[in-house]
Amino acid sequence: MQIRDFMTEEQKRLQELTRELEDYIRNAPEGTFFASRNGKYFKWYTFQNGQKIPINKKNKALAYRLAMKTFAGFRLKETVKELKAIDAYLQESNETDSETFLREHEAIRQLITEHKPLSERVQKWANEDYPRNTEPYKGTLYKTMKGDLVKSIAERDIANALFLAGIPYRYECALSFDNGRTVIYPDFMIMDPQTGKIYLWEHFGMAELNYYQHKNANKLYVYFENGYVPGLNLITTASDDKTKLTPAKIGQTIHYYFSV
């Protein structure tokens, strides 16, 4: 993931958090929360119109909401400060990243793509056309350095890392099993430029969703049935709403399997 992409996503997250905090504060009870220690315990108070009003221990729900309101106010100031820093970065940073550069310099892109120390067999495989997934896709597509259109930022980052490492790949190439009765489109089919060995790379995004869990499990079952085993000739990575696939992890994975 490019730094600008990460910062843009973080900007959106903080903007949503800001709205949530503002809504919470707006809908919270009047007043602010204050507590004073009384031995092992605390006495709760709320300040309203300059007056300090005790909160009865039986009214713990009110104390909780006022305490949360006070914390939300602090978090809101912190979030606004973070947003200002991100806004400043996005305004001042150079918008030309490596992908944009290669799109704007076609001659350089062609030379990088074509001038790879590949064997004749690997070069032939890399340049051959192949059956692709033609199913319509309604989501956002991301253009890779090689020129492919892929369906996620993670797939784009994997494709770009393979491209820069000089490792040929096919995106969503049709793979038939059971005499053509079962067809799967792995995210990436890769040929090791040193050995000519074929690997598949599946990135399981949105792994927290039940639908994708079942879909991915079924796909893995087909792979196992047909000799594709994680750690041997099947590379697997995953991400969910909390854990993203980082460029560092992609680089480590490529180095592990292809020693580059």
Q: Are residues 116 and 87 in the same domain?
A: no
Q: Are residues 137 and 54 in the same domain?
A: no
What is the CATH number for 190?
A: 3.40.1350.10
Helices (H) and strands (E) in the chain, counts: 8, 11
102: in domain = no
Q: Which residues make Cβ contacts (< 8 Å) with residue 139, sequence separation at least 6?
A: 151
205: in domain = yes
The CB density around residue 205, as the number of other CB atoms within 10 Å, is 21
Contact 155, 142 (CB under 8 A): yes
DSSP label at residue 245: P
122: in domain = yes
Q: What pLDDT does 94 receive?
A: 59
Q: Are residues 250 and 135 in the same domain?
A: yes
Q: Which of 59, 92, 125 is the last residue of a domain?
A: 92
- pLDDT means per 10 residues, the chain with 260 residues, are 71 90 92 87 87 90 91 93 88 65 75 66 90 91 90 93 92 91 94 93 90 90 94 93 88 91
Q: Are residues 74 and 118 in the same domain?
A: no
Q: Are residues 67 and 124 in the same domain?
A: no
Q: What pLDDT does 161 receive?
A: 92
Q: Are residues 77 and 127 in the same domain?
A: no
Q: What is the pTM of this model?
A: 0.59
Q: What pLDDT does 149 receive?
A: 93
Tally the residues of the chain.
260
Q: What pLDDT does 197 receive?
A: 93
Contact 150, 142 (CB under 8 A): yes
Beta bridge partner(s), residue 235 = 201
AA letter at 121: R
Q: Are residues 143 and 252 in the same domain?
A: yes
193: in domain = yes
Q: Are residues 44 and 17 in the same domain?
A: yes
Domain that holds residue 84: 3-92
Q: Which of 41, 62, 92 is the last residue of a domain?
A: 92
Domain count along the chain: 2
100: in domain = no
Q: Are residues 79 and 127 in the same domain?
A: no
Q: Are residues 235 and 150 in the same domain?
A: yes
AA letter at 201: W
Q: What pLDDT does 189 receive?
A: 97
Q: What pLDDT does 1 receive?
A: 45
Q: Which residues make Cβ contacts (< 8 Å) with residue 5, sequence separation at least 6?
A: 153
Q: Are residues 123 and 231 in the same domain?
A: yes
Q: Are residues 183 and 59 in the same domain?
A: no
83: in domain = yes
Q: What pLDDT does 209 receive?
A: 87
